[in-house]
Amino acid sequence: MTHINIFMRIANDHLLRHSSQSEEIMQISKKDLQIKRIWTFKIWDRSAKDGRYMHNATFLNDNKFVAVYHNSTKHRFEYWKVTRHGDSWQPVEIGATKGEFMRNNSPVQGIAYDKKRAHIYLAFNDYLFKVNRDGMVLANGRFHTGCEFEGICVNNSHLLINCQRKHGILIP
């Protein structure tokens, strides 16, 4: 069993919408919680004015992450795979879901990626959606926990959900 001594995180401003501003990826040591490296990245579609400001991403390893972008003007969710080559991060759109998951403009509160099945999971409040890499919705469900999802992850093909308060972790 290998132990990961660092973790990766996107640092962004959750209040920004439709921004073409850059974001930062931080590599943090688990041993002392010190920042080891910071990269600046920016994703756009055809033009730097058409920015994709990512609010949610899940890191697959030190060199790759999958992010979701809600394109409200085109009424779709886009899925991007971003891979590091040296000190450069290369984005590729891998799929999109047409339509809106939530009619109340609720933000994505968690994203997870199942590497074995190539499924993306998205959490919105008490709602959970499973989509394939291309963006087709495979399943959805609702939990009546009385609290919001704060994060989700896949561990050994099991989806784990971190709740905002009292209930802790759900395993659907």
CATH code linked to domain 6-170: 2.110.10
State pLDDT tens for residues 40-84.
888 887 777 778 878 788 889 889 999 998 888 888 999 999 999
* 6 in Cβ contact with 29 (< 8 Å): yes
Most distant CA atoms of the chain, gap in Å: 45
Cα(80)–Cα(28) distance, integer angstroms: 23
pTM of the model: 0.83
Which of 166, 2, 50, 132 lies closest to 122 in space, CA to CA?
132
State pLDDT tens for residues 24-46.
888 888 888 888 888 888 888 77
Cα(164)–Cα(145) distance, integer angstroms: 10
Spans of all domains in the chain: 6-170
